[in-house]
Structure 1
Amino acid sequence: MTGVRRLSAADFDDHVPGLADLFVDAVASGASLGFPAPFEHDAASRWWREQESAVVAGERVVFVSCGAGRVDGTVSLSFERMPNARHRGGVGKLMVHRDARGRGLGRTLLATAEQAAAAAGVTLLLLDTESGSAAEHLYRSAGWTCYGEVPGYAADATGTALRRCSFYYKPL
Protein backbone atom coordinates (compact mmCIF):
# COMPACT_ATOMS: atom_id res chain seq x y z
CA MET A 1 0.00 0.00 0.00
CA THR A 2 1.49 3.31 -1.06
CA GLY A 3 -0.93 5.64 0.74
CA VAL A 4 -4.17 7.32 -0.13
CA ARG A 5 -4.28 10.08 -2.71
CA ARG A 6 -6.90 12.16 -4.41
CA LEU A 7 -7.34 11.52 -8.11
CA SER A 8 -7.11 14.66 -10.21
CA ALA A 9 -9.48 15.12 -13.13
CA ALA A 10 -6.47 14.60 -15.38
CA ASP A 11 -5.55 11.17 -14.00
CA PHE A 12 -9.06 9.90 -13.26
CA ASP A 13 -9.43 8.23 -16.66
CA ASP A 14 -6.15 6.31 -16.23
CA HIS A 15 -7.47 4.79 -13.00
CA VAL A 16 -10.87 3.67 -14.32
CA PRO A 17 -9.68 0.13 -15.22
CA GLY A 18 -8.26 -0.38 -11.71
CA LEU A 19 -11.31 1.16 -10.07
CA ALA A 20 -13.50 -1.17 -12.14
CA ASP A 21 -11.42 -4.20 -11.08
CA LEU A 22 -11.86 -3.18 -7.44
CA PHE A 23 -15.61 -2.63 -7.90
CA VAL A 24 -16.03 -6.10 -9.45
CA ASP A 25 -14.01 -7.66 -6.60
CA ALA A 26 -16.05 -5.86 -3.93
CA VAL A 27 -19.39 -6.94 -5.39
CA ALA A 28 -18.13 -10.51 -5.91
CA SER A 29 -17.13 -10.66 -2.24
CA GLY A 30 -20.59 -9.61 -1.07
CA ALA A 31 -20.41 -5.83 -0.69
CA SER A 32 -23.66 -3.95 -1.13
CA LEU A 33 -22.70 -1.26 -3.62
CA GLY A 34 -25.78 -0.97 -5.81
CA PHE A 35 -25.07 -3.82 -8.20
CA PRO A 36 -25.76 -7.56 -7.83
CA ALA A 37 -23.25 -10.25 -8.75
CA PRO A 38 -22.13 -11.21 -11.23
CA PHE A 39 -21.00 -7.68 -11.97
CA GLU A 40 -19.07 -7.43 -15.20
CA HIS A 41 -15.95 -5.33 -15.68
CA ASP A 42 -17.52 -3.43 -18.59
CA ALA A 43 -20.48 -2.39 -16.41
CA ALA A 44 -18.14 -1.32 -13.60
CA SER A 45 -16.02 0.70 -16.04
CA ARG A 46 -19.13 2.32 -17.45
CA TRP A 47 -20.29 3.32 -13.95
CA TRP A 48 -16.92 4.91 -13.16
CA ARG A 49 -16.79 6.72 -16.51
CA GLU A 50 -20.23 8.19 -15.75
CA GLN A 51 -18.67 9.80 -12.66
CA GLU A 52 -15.97 11.61 -14.63
CA SER A 53 -18.01 14.76 -15.31
CA ALA A 54 -18.71 15.17 -11.58
CA VAL A 55 -14.99 14.69 -10.84
CA VAL A 56 -14.05 17.30 -13.46
CA ALA A 57 -16.69 19.71 -12.06
CA GLY A 58 -15.41 19.20 -8.50
CA GLU A 59 -18.74 17.76 -7.34
CA ARG A 60 -17.17 14.37 -6.57
CA VAL A 61 -13.74 13.64 -5.19
CA VAL A 62 -12.30 10.15 -5.60
CA PHE A 63 -9.48 8.88 -3.39
CA VAL A 64 -7.48 5.75 -4.14
CA SER A 65 -4.88 3.60 -2.48
CA CYS A 66 -2.70 1.63 -4.88
CA GLY A 67 -0.34 -1.23 -4.20
CA ALA A 68 0.69 -4.60 -5.60
CA GLY A 69 -0.01 -3.30 -9.11
CA ARG A 70 -3.68 -2.56 -8.48
CA VAL A 71 -6.12 -0.19 -6.82
CA ASP A 72 -6.46 -1.62 -3.30
CA GLY A 73 -9.12 0.78 -2.08
CA THR A 74 -11.24 3.79 -2.88
CA VAL A 75 -13.76 6.16 -1.37
CA SER A 76 -15.74 8.98 -2.94
CA LEU A 77 -16.83 12.25 -1.42
CA SER A 78 -19.70 14.13 -3.04
CA PHE A 79 -20.66 17.73 -2.49
CA GLU A 80 -24.21 19.07 -2.50
CA ARG A 81 -25.09 21.55 -5.24
CA MET A 82 -28.23 23.10 -3.73
CA PRO A 83 -27.51 26.47 -2.08
CA ASN A 84 -29.14 25.48 1.21
CA ALA A 85 -27.19 22.23 1.46
CA ARG A 86 -23.62 23.21 0.68
CA HIS A 87 -22.64 22.47 4.28
CA ARG A 88 -23.46 18.80 3.63
CA GLY A 89 -21.60 16.05 1.79
CA GLY A 90 -21.88 12.36 1.12
CA VAL A 91 -19.47 9.47 1.48
CA GLY A 92 -19.90 6.62 -0.95
CA LYS A 93 -18.35 3.69 -2.75
CA LEU A 94 -15.93 2.88 0.06
CA MET A 95 -14.27 -0.31 -1.20
CA VAL A 96 -11.24 -2.32 -0.15
CA HIS A 97 -9.94 -5.22 -2.24
CA ARG A 98 -10.53 -8.51 -0.44
CA ASP A 99 -6.76 -9.17 -0.35
CA ALA A 100 -6.11 -5.83 1.38
CA ARG A 101 -8.79 -6.08 4.09
CA GLY A 102 -8.08 -6.25 7.79
CA ARG A 103 -5.18 -3.80 7.70
CA GLY A 104 -7.01 -0.56 8.45
CA LEU A 105 -7.30 0.67 4.87
CA GLY A 106 -11.07 1.17 5.09
CA ARG A 107 -10.64 3.29 8.22
CA THR A 108 -7.85 5.29 6.53
CA LEU A 109 -9.98 5.91 3.43
CA LEU A 110 -12.94 7.01 5.57
CA ALA A 111 -10.76 9.37 7.63
CA THR A 112 -9.29 10.82 4.43
CA ALA A 113 -12.77 11.59 3.09
CA GLU A 114 -13.78 13.15 6.41
CA GLN A 115 -10.66 15.34 6.49
CA ALA A 116 -11.13 16.45 2.89
CA ALA A 117 -14.76 17.32 3.58
CA ALA A 118 -13.83 19.39 6.62
CA ALA A 119 -11.11 21.18 4.63
CA ALA A 120 -13.73 22.03 1.99
CA GLY A 121 -16.01 23.58 4.60
CA VAL A 122 -18.42 20.67 4.89
CA THR A 123 -19.82 20.35 8.42
CA LEU A 124 -22.10 17.32 8.00
CA LEU A 125 -21.52 14.02 6.19
CA LEU A 126 -24.10 11.37 5.30
CA LEU A 127 -23.90 7.79 4.07
CA ASP A 128 -25.88 4.58 3.89
CA THR A 129 -24.91 0.93 4.13
CA GLU A 130 -26.42 -2.50 4.41
CA SER A 131 -27.53 -3.11 7.99
CA GLY A 132 -25.37 -5.64 9.81
CA SER A 133 -22.50 -5.40 7.33
CA ALA A 134 -18.81 -5.09 8.14
CA ALA A 135 -19.02 -1.56 6.74
CA GLU A 136 -21.66 -0.69 9.33
CA HIS A 137 -19.28 -1.79 12.09
CA LEU A 138 -16.58 0.46 10.62
CA TYR A 139 -18.88 3.50 10.53
CA ARG A 140 -20.10 3.01 14.10
CA SER A 141 -16.55 2.57 15.41
CA ALA A 142 -15.46 5.71 13.52
CA GLY A 143 -18.02 7.85 15.37
CA TRP A 144 -20.86 7.90 12.86
CA THR A 145 -24.45 7.97 14.21
CA CYS A 146 -27.24 5.83 12.80
CA TYR A 147 -30.38 7.90 12.31
CA GLY A 148 -32.60 5.28 10.77
CA GLU A 149 -33.06 1.97 9.10
CA VAL A 150 -35.30 1.01 6.19
CA PRO A 151 -36.35 -2.62 5.70
CA GLY A 152 -36.26 -4.03 2.17
CA TYR A 153 -34.28 -1.04 0.89
CA ALA A 154 -31.98 -2.78 -1.58
CA ALA A 155 -31.29 -6.21 -3.00
CA ASP A 156 -28.33 -8.12 -1.61
CA ALA A 157 -25.21 -8.82 -3.67
CA THR A 158 -26.85 -11.87 -5.24
CA GLY A 159 -29.91 -9.85 -6.23
CA THR A 160 -32.21 -12.43 -4.64
CA ALA A 161 -33.18 -10.97 -1.25
CA LEU A 162 -34.08 -7.51 -0.03
CA ARG A 163 -31.94 -6.17 2.81
CA ARG A 164 -32.27 -3.48 5.44
CA CYS A 165 -30.25 -0.32 4.98
CA SER A 166 -28.92 1.89 7.77
CA PHE A 167 -28.45 5.63 7.32
CA TYR A 168 -25.65 7.48 9.11
CA TYR A 169 -24.47 11.01 9.72
CA LYS A 170 -21.37 12.56 11.21
CA PRO A 171 -20.93 16.21 12.16
CA LEU A 172 -17.45 17.49 11.40
Structure 2
Amino acid sequence: MIRLTNQLKIEQLFSADRHYEQLSELLIRVVEDGASIGFLPPIKREDADKYWTQVIQPDTLLFVAKLNQQIVGSVQLQLCTKQNGNHRAEIAKLMTHPTYRRMGIGRMLMNKVEERAVEEDRSLIVLDTREGDPSNVLYASLGYVQAGKIPNYAKSSTGELHPTVFYYKLI
Protein backbone atom coordinates (compact mmCIF):
# COMPACT_ATOMS: atom_id res chain seq x y z
CA MET A 1 0.00 0.00 0.00
CA ILE A 2 1.40 3.39 -1.03
CA ARG A 3 0.97 6.19 1.52
CA LEU A 4 0.46 9.79 0.39
CA THR A 5 0.44 11.38 3.83
CA ASN A 6 3.13 13.97 3.02
CA GLN A 7 1.54 15.05 -0.26
CA LEU A 8 -2.12 14.91 0.73
CA LYS A 9 -4.02 17.80 2.28
CA ILE A 10 -7.32 17.40 4.10
CA GLU A 11 -9.42 20.54 4.27
CA GLN A 12 -12.94 21.59 5.04
CA LEU A 13 -14.90 23.22 2.24
CA PHE A 14 -17.23 26.01 3.27
CA SER A 15 -18.61 26.33 -0.25
CA ALA A 16 -18.66 23.84 -3.09
CA ASP A 17 -19.02 26.56 -5.75
CA ARG A 18 -15.45 26.44 -7.07
CA HIS A 19 -15.28 22.66 -6.73
CA TYR A 20 -18.38 21.31 -8.51
CA GLU A 21 -16.42 19.86 -11.40
CA GLN A 22 -14.00 17.90 -9.20
CA LEU A 23 -16.62 16.86 -6.65
CA SER A 24 -19.01 15.68 -9.34
CA GLU A 25 -16.25 13.77 -11.09
CA LEU A 26 -15.39 12.07 -7.78
CA LEU A 27 -19.02 11.12 -7.15
CA ILE A 28 -19.50 9.78 -10.67
CA ARG A 29 -16.30 7.72 -10.56
CA VAL A 30 -16.94 6.11 -7.16
CA VAL A 31 -20.54 5.21 -8.08
CA GLU A 32 -19.44 3.79 -11.44
CA ASP A 33 -16.90 1.73 -9.48
CA GLY A 34 -19.70 0.22 -7.38
CA ALA A 35 -19.79 2.32 -4.22
CA SER A 36 -23.07 2.20 -2.32
CA ILE A 37 -23.53 5.86 -1.38
CA GLY A 38 -27.14 6.46 -2.34
CA PHE A 39 -26.73 6.67 -6.12
CA LEU A 40 -26.91 4.10 -8.89
CA PRO A 41 -24.91 4.21 -12.11
CA PRO A 42 -24.98 5.86 -14.48
CA ILE A 43 -25.16 9.28 -12.81
CA LYS A 44 -25.79 12.26 -15.02
CA ARG A 45 -23.37 15.13 -14.53
CA GLU A 46 -26.20 17.57 -13.79
CA ASP A 47 -27.52 15.25 -11.06
CA ALA A 48 -24.06 15.09 -9.47
CA ASP A 49 -23.70 18.88 -9.65
CA LYS A 50 -27.16 19.33 -8.12
CA TYR A 51 -26.26 16.98 -5.26
CA TRP A 52 -23.19 19.02 -4.32
CA THR A 53 -25.16 22.29 -4.29
CA GLN A 54 -27.17 20.92 -1.37
CA VAL A 55 -24.50 19.22 0.76
CA ILE A 56 -22.91 22.00 2.80
CA GLN A 57 -25.28 23.15 5.51
CA PRO A 58 -24.78 24.46 9.05
CA ASP A 59 -25.18 20.89 10.32
CA THR A 60 -23.27 19.16 7.47
CA LEU A 61 -19.54 19.70 7.19
CA LEU A 62 -17.70 18.64 4.04
CA PHE A 63 -14.05 17.62 4.09
CA VAL A 64 -11.98 16.83 1.01
CA ALA A 65 -8.64 15.21 0.38
CA LYS A 66 -6.52 17.03 -2.18
CA LEU A 67 -3.49 15.75 -4.00
CA ASN A 68 -1.78 18.45 -6.08
CA GLN A 69 -4.93 20.61 -5.78
CA GLN A 70 -7.05 17.76 -7.20
CA ILE A 71 -9.88 16.39 -5.03
CA VAL A 72 -9.30 12.65 -4.61
CA GLY A 73 -11.60 11.97 -1.66
CA SER A 74 -14.32 13.41 0.53
CA VAL A 75 -16.39 12.74 3.62
CA GLN A 76 -19.23 14.47 5.44
CA LEU A 77 -19.78 15.00 9.14
CA GLN A 78 -23.47 15.48 9.90
CA LEU A 79 -24.04 17.07 13.30
CA CYS A 80 -27.25 16.06 15.01
CA THR A 81 -29.20 19.20 15.96
CA LYS A 82 -31.89 17.54 18.08
CA GLN A 83 -31.77 18.48 21.76
CA ASN A 84 -31.45 14.87 22.81
CA GLY A 85 -28.79 14.16 20.17
CA ASN A 86 -26.43 17.11 20.26
CA HIS A 87 -23.73 14.76 21.58
CA ARG A 88 -23.62 12.71 18.38
CA ALA A 89 -22.70 13.01 14.72
CA GLU A 90 -22.98 10.81 11.66
CA ILE A 91 -20.34 10.16 9.05
CA ALA A 92 -21.70 10.06 5.52
CA LYS A 93 -20.47 9.41 2.01
CA LEU A 94 -16.82 8.60 2.56
CA MET A 95 -15.41 8.54 -0.98
CA THR A 96 -11.97 7.86 -2.39
CA HIS A 97 -11.35 8.14 -6.11
CA PRO A 98 -10.81 4.58 -7.45
CA THR A 99 -7.34 5.46 -8.77
CA TYR A 100 -6.21 6.46 -5.26
CA ARG A 101 -7.66 3.69 -3.12
CA ARG A 102 -5.52 1.76 -0.60
CA MET A 103 -3.23 4.76 -0.06
CA GLY A 104 -4.54 5.88 3.34
CA ILE A 105 -6.88 8.62 2.06
CA GLY A 106 -10.03 7.19 3.64
CA ARG A 107 -8.23 6.76 6.96
CA MET A 108 -6.95 10.34 6.87
CA LEU A 109 -10.43 11.67 6.09
CA MET A 110 -11.93 9.62 8.93
CA ASN A 111 -9.28 10.85 11.37
CA LYS A 112 -10.04 14.45 10.37
CA VAL A 113 -13.81 14.14 10.88
CA GLU A 114 -13.26 12.43 14.22
CA GLU A 115 -11.04 15.34 15.31
CA ARG A 116 -13.70 17.78 14.20
CA ALA A 117 -16.41 15.82 16.01
CA VAL A 118 -14.41 16.21 19.23
CA GLU A 119 -14.08 19.96 18.55
CA GLU A 120 -17.87 20.06 18.12
CA ASP A 121 -18.23 18.39 21.54
CA ARG A 122 -19.57 15.14 20.09
CA SER A 123 -18.94 11.91 21.97
CA LEU A 124 -20.69 9.42 19.67
CA ILE A 125 -20.21 8.87 15.95
CA VAL A 126 -22.46 6.59 13.89
CA LEU A 127 -22.31 5.44 10.28
CA ASP A 128 -23.57 2.73 7.99
CA THR A 129 -22.19 0.92 4.98
CA ARG A 130 -23.14 -1.94 2.71
CA GLU A 131 -22.15 -5.31 4.10
CA GLY A 132 -19.10 -6.77 2.40
CA ASP A 133 -17.67 -3.48 1.11
CA PRO A 134 -13.99 -2.74 1.81
CA SER A 135 -15.08 0.15 4.04
CA ASN A 136 -16.18 -2.39 6.66
CA VAL A 137 -12.52 -3.33 7.19
CA LEU A 138 -11.50 0.33 7.45
CA TYR A 139 -14.17 1.17 10.02
CA ALA A 140 -13.33 -1.85 12.17
CA SER A 141 -9.62 -0.95 12.05
CA LEU A 142 -10.50 2.56 13.29
CA GLY A 143 -12.30 1.17 16.34
CA TYR A 144 -15.89 1.33 15.12
CA VAL A 145 -18.15 -1.28 16.68
CA GLN A 146 -20.77 -3.10 14.63
CA ALA A 147 -24.17 -2.37 16.13
CA GLY A 148 -26.29 -4.45 13.76
CA LYS A 149 -27.47 -5.11 10.24
CA ILE A 150 -30.60 -4.44 8.25
CA PRO A 151 -31.32 -6.84 5.37
CA ASN A 152 -32.44 -5.62 1.95
CA TYR A 153 -31.43 -2.04 2.76
CA ALA A 154 -29.68 -0.85 -0.39
CA LYS A 155 -30.41 -1.67 -4.01
CA SER A 156 -27.61 -2.21 -6.51
CA SER A 157 -27.68 -1.31 -10.18
CA THR A 158 -28.69 -4.92 -10.93
CA GLY A 159 -31.73 -4.60 -8.65
CA GLU A 160 -30.23 -6.91 -6.02
CA LEU A 161 -30.93 -5.89 -2.41
CA HIS A 162 -28.02 -5.79 0.04
CA PRO A 163 -27.81 -5.56 3.83
CA THR A 164 -26.28 -2.53 5.49
CA VAL A 165 -24.17 -2.60 8.62
CA PHE A 166 -24.45 0.08 11.30
CA TYR A 167 -21.39 1.08 13.29
CA TYR A 168 -20.71 3.39 16.23
CA LYS A 169 -17.70 4.77 18.02
CA LEU A 170 -17.49 6.48 21.38
CA ILE A 171 -14.91 9.26 21.25
Q: Distance in 1 between matches of 2:132 and 2:27?
A: 20
TM-score for the superposition, normalised by structure 1: 0.91
Please name the residue that 1:136 is paired with: 136
Structural RMSD (CA): 1.2
Q: Is the 8 A contact 2:30 2:96 kept in 1?
A: yes
Q: Distance in 2 between matches of 1:7 and 1:50?
A: 13
Please name the residue that 2:170 is paired with: 171
Task: Indicate whether 1:4 and 2:3 are aligned.
Answer: no
Q: Any gaps of 5 or more consecutive residues in structure 2?
A: 1-6
Identity of aligned residues (%): 31
Q: Distance in 1 between matches of 2:20 and 2:48?
A: 9
Q: Distance in 2 between matches of 1:41 and 1:104?
A: 28
Q: Distance in 2 between matches of 1:8 and 1:160?
A: 36
Task: Indicate whether 1:20 and 2:3 are aligned.
Answer: no
Q: Is the 8 A contact 1:37 1:159 kept in 2?
A: no
Q: Distance in 1 between matches of 2:64 and 2:149?
A: 29
Shift of 1:159: 4.6
Please name the residue that 2:99 is paired with: 99
Q: Is the 8 A contact 2:55 2:62 kept in 1?
A: no
Task: Indicate whether 1:160 and 2:164 are aligned.
Answer: no
Please name the residue that 1:118 is paired with: 118
Amino acid aligned to 1:112? K
Q: Any gaps of 5 or more consecutive residues in structure 1?
A: none
Please name the residue that 1:145 is paired with: 145
- Moved >3 Å (runs of 4+): none
Shift of 1:2: 3.3
**Secondary structure at the residue paired with 2:112?**
helix
Shift of 1:69: 5.3
Q: Distance in 1 between matches of 2:136 and 2:116?
A: 21
Amino acid aligned to 2:94? L
Task: Indicate whether 1:77 and 2:77 are aligned.
Answer: yes
- The alpha-carbon distance between structure 1 residues 87 and 72, as it changes in their structure 2 partners (threshold 3 A), is same
Larger helix fraction of residues:
1
